[in-house]
């Protein structure tokens, strides 16, 4: 079954949007299989954002992600990677559609509340970077 990785960034946690983000994915019908609140090490943040390491904002992005707790999650369901990108909205909250998380709650590209994996292969890499096998719970709703 397809899985994706989501991280509620320090701004999302501090603006008390954890419940709202979880609610959107739960009510859509996806299955939560991993969830933890954590302070991110520099090493993990740099690995996670490795693809952006040559970009001018890389240093400030890593500073921000390591500055305060984040909530890391894994969600499961058919087509969850692409669907999560739609639920989250465009990278820049100013151009993200209303109705998306970033479109509804954000105004700054550097404070865009949440990260979601951009492809199935990226999701696999990010899930194994952030979670051990023991931290993920495979289950199927029965009601
Ligand atoms: P995210 O989906 O976490 O992936 C990379 C992040 O880099 C992105 O969300 C933004 O928060 C951040 N980012 C992208 N472009 C810029 C930019 N021009 N200035 C600051 N941060 C940026």
Which pTM was predicted?
0.97
ipTM of the complex: 0.93
Average pLDDT over residues 69-97: 98
Q: E strand or H helix at 61, and its extent?
A: helix 58-65
Where would I find the beta strands (DSSP E) of the chain?
Answer: 3-8, 31-38, 70-76, 114-116
Neighbours of 15 (CB within 10 A): 15
Instruction: Assess whether the C-beta atom of 120 lies below 6 angstroms from ligand 1.
Output: no
Let me know: does 38 contact 131? Beta carbons within 8 Å. no
Give catalytic residue positions.
115
pLDDT band at 13 (very low <50, low <70, confident <90, very high): very high
Give just the sign of the alpha carbon dihedral 34, 37, 38, 39.
positive
Annotated binding-site residue? 24: no
Give me the pLDDT at residue 38, please. 98
Q: pLDDT digits over 50-67, tens only? A: 999 999 999 999 999 999
Using the atom order of ligand 1, give the atom closest to the CA of residue 114.
Answer: 3
Residue 16 annotated as lining a ligand binding site: no
pLDDT at 143: 74
Distance 109 CA to ligand 1 centre (A): 6
Q: Which of 112, 113, 118 to mutate to test the pocket of ligand 1 (most atoms within 8 A of CB)?
A: 112
Residue 134's contacts (CB-CB under 8 Å, 6 or more residues apart) are none
Distance CA 31, CA 102 (A): 21
Does the beta carbon of 102 sit less than 6 angstroms from any atom of ligand 1?
Answer: no
Q: Is 108 in the pocket of ligand 1 (CB under 6 A)?
A: no
Residue-wise pLDDT tens digits, 97-120: 999 999 999 999 999 999 999 999
- 22-31 b/e (C-beta count within 10 Å ≥ 16 → b): bebbeeeebb
């Amino acid at each position: 079954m397809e899985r994706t990785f989501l991280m509620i960034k320090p701004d999302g946690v501090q603006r008390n949007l954890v419940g709202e983000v979880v609610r959107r994915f739960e009510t859509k019908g996806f299955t939560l299989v991993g969830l933890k609140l954590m302070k991110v090490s520099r090493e993990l943040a740099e690995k996670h954002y490795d693809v952006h390491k040559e970009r001018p904002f890389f240093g400030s992005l890593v500073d921000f992600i390591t500055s305060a707790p984040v909530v890391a999650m894994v969600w499961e369901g058919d087509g969850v990677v692409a669907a999560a990108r739609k639920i989250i909205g465009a990278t820049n909250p100013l151009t993200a559609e209303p109705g998306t998380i970033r479109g509804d709650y954000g105004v700054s590209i550097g404070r865009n509340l949440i990260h979601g994996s951009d492809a199935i292969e990226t999701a696999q890499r990010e899930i194994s970077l952030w979670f051990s096998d023991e931290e993920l719970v495979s289950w199927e709703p029965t009601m």
